[in-house]
Amino acid sequence: MKVKTKSKKVNKAWLNDHVNDPYVKLAHREGYRARAAYKLKEIDEALRLIKPGQVVVDLGAAPGAWSQYLRRKFAPQGAATGELDGSIVALDLIEIEPIEGVVFLQGDFRDEEVVQALEVRLGGRPVDVVVSDMAPNLSGIGSVDAARVTHLVELAVDFALRHLQPGGALVCKTFHGSGYEQQAKLFRESFRIVKPIKPKASRDKSSETFLVGLGPKQP
């Protein structure tokens, strides 16, 4: 019974924080599906990664907030609908509600069938930016969760190195803790410039951070 009571208290505290979160309120006002949109917005504004006319792939896209942000960056006056100057391909294991102008592929990008579908959508064009907000289902066991996070980072880096144009960029979510240094080392080995960023929109209590790799190194 004590565990259940504690769990209820934790859930109530989280819900209270969530409801009163300024980014949650802002996302609601501006029509974003999640506060995560502002994390990508901060990273983009700091590094000026996203420009009209680009080809961008959004890995782990659900519920679609990052693709929404990308879509508005490619639209005149930041419109959520209408004209679009750029290409966005979003991938996730779970389906997302359609976003006008965004091509969505449901499946695992490690599967050959999904990769082939992506290649068709890209039409031979190199990718300018890969963004990954992927996160694993957490078990609560530190070593297991760290290994799962590292695996997703490795997958995102491998994907980016195979698809990015020479001046391209990868934005990848990770977490400080066991495995982070290994991930940062992989980024340094894979990209000419590496920048770790903790956006203000990322909750203070969270160990979440983002690694940005600029200019993939040629094998």
pLDDT per residue over 10-69, tens digit each? 465 434 455 568 899 999 999 999 999 999 999 999 999 999 999 999 999 999 999 999
* Rg of the Cα atoms in the chain: 18
| pLDDT of res. 10 | 47
| pLDDT of res. 1 | 38
Give the bridge partners for 127, in sequence order: 164
E strands, the chain, are 55-59, 87-92, 102-106, 127-132, 164-175, 191-197, 208-216
173 is catalytic: yes
Low-confidence ranges of the chain (pLDDT < 50): 1-7, 9-10, 13-16
| pLDDT of res. 124 | 86
Tokens of 105: 């592929």
Q: Of 193, 177, 202, whose CA–CA distance to 47 is shortest?
A: 193
> Contact 105/121 with Cβ under 8 angstroms?
yes
Q: Of 45, 44, 78, whose CA–CA distance to 171 is shortest?
A: 44
Tokens of 3: 């565990």
| pLDDT of res. 8 | 52
- pTM here? 0.89
Selected catalytic residue, list 4, 73, 173, 217: 173
